[in-house]
Amino acid sequence: MTAQPQLAHVVFQTRQFSAMLAWYDQVFGAKVVHQNPAMAFLSFDDEHHRFAVLNLELVAPGGPGHRGAVGVNHIAYTLPSAASLLTLYRRLKQAGVEPVWPVHHGLTLSLYYDDPDGNRLEFQVEALPDGEASRYISGPEFAANPVGVSFDPDVLLTRFEAGASEAELLAFVTGPMSPIPPLQH
């Protein structure tokens, strides 16, 4: 059985970008750790981010529509290791549940799943040593590609089953930004 996932962060979609950032600062004391016009990442503790806010005026202009609804984009859960993430992947795949987006964000290795109602859940494992993720999310590498790169989970599972180390499984390979798949709604 896979280790119990721990709540990591929540990502919101909004058409009130500045107001949302101010509200989460006021209510949680969450400070922006990375921001560009389309998104912001906020933290109130030693986690690299607890909230992210997507600016729908830029990512889905023109009003509600495909991926344009205001609300929760996804909820993320952290697992303790790449081995745990790949064990979860294997178990879910055997049950006919496939991820909609396997992506390495640079700071996390992540698998996104949509539940039957289209709610998106991210299962992630930290890809950087303690303290490095906070530096990375505030630095130029993340600014250059805040989305990450896609990976093939079957290839990674094969490497895991062949005995690849945790470091080998978590290694980030640079590449073009991964396209974000649409939500089911």
Domains and CATH numbers, the chain: 6-170 (3.10.180.10)
Angle in degrees, 0-180, between the axes of helices 82-94 and 153-161, rounded to the nearest 10: 110
Write the pLDDT tens digit of every residue in 46-96.
888 999 999 998 887 765 554 568 888 899 999 999 999 999 999 999 999
Span 158-178, average pLDDT = 90
Mean pLDDT of the chain: 88
Contact (Cβ atoms closer than 8 angstroms) between residue 78 and residue 125? yes
More confident residue, 178 or 158: 158
Q: In the prediction, which pLDDT does 173 show?
A: 78
Tokens of 148: 């990450």
Write the pLDDT tens digit of every residue in 106-140.
999 999 998 866 778 899 999 998 779 889 989 99
Instruction: Give the span between the Cα atoms of 133 and 105, in whole angstroms.
Output: 11
What percentage of the chain carries pLDDT values higher than 70? 92
Q: In the prediction, which pLDDT does 67 show?
A: 53
Instruction: Give the span between the Cα atoms of 30 and 42, in whole angstroms.
Output: 5
pLDDT at 23 over 60: yes
DSSP secondary structure string for all residues of 82-142: HHHHHHHHHHHHHTT---SEEEE-SSEEEEEEE-TT--EEEEEEE-S-TTHHHHHHTSHHH
